Amino acid sequence: MKTITVETADHGEVTFPEPAWCTRGSHTPPPPTAGLDARPRRSELTHQGAPVNVTVTTPAGTEVLVELALWQDIFPDPNWSHGTRVYAVATLVSNDAVDLDVAGLDQLADAMYDAARQIRTFSNVLALQQPRDGGQ
């Protein structure tokens, strides 16, 4: 596992391990032109996994229902419920309305079933991360 060192606004340089699944954490350093105010606070540092889009196909086209990502707060606030455990963030994406007839509702039901399987698969990926983080 590689380590990352980040200059923070409140704790100076902090060093921490980066898990293999982290693809877009908030620990990317700001550009040098951003100035000192762009440095993150230590409690804002996160590991974030690649997003997984759960989609359904409707008569109106393909819609993203939810975007899932693994997430971990590296130095969490003591009041946060997740602690340092890896958890999932689900972002509800679509706010579109679609008119459906009986066939359209059947198609949507099939798509929702497939979406549920995608979410279950993602849950299994998350479960694989739990034992590694010590159950904190």
* Domain spans in the chain, listed from the N-terminal domain onward: 2-133
Tally of CB atoms within 10 A around 49: 24
| The predicted structure's pLDDT at residue 1 | 77
Q: How far apart are CA 22 and CA 6, in angstroms?
A: 15
Identify the helix (H) or strand (E) that includes residue 112: helix 102-129
SS3 13: strand
Q: What was the pLDDT predicted at 131?
A: 65
Number of other residues whose CB lies within 10 A of the CB of residue 105: 11
pLDDT of 60: 75
pLDDT, tens digit only, all 136 positions of the chain: 789 898 888 999 999 999 989 988 776 666 666 666 778 889 889 999 999 988 887 777 888 888 999 999 999 888 888 888 999 999 988 777 778 889 888 888 888 898 899 999 999 999 998 765 444 4
pTM: 0.75
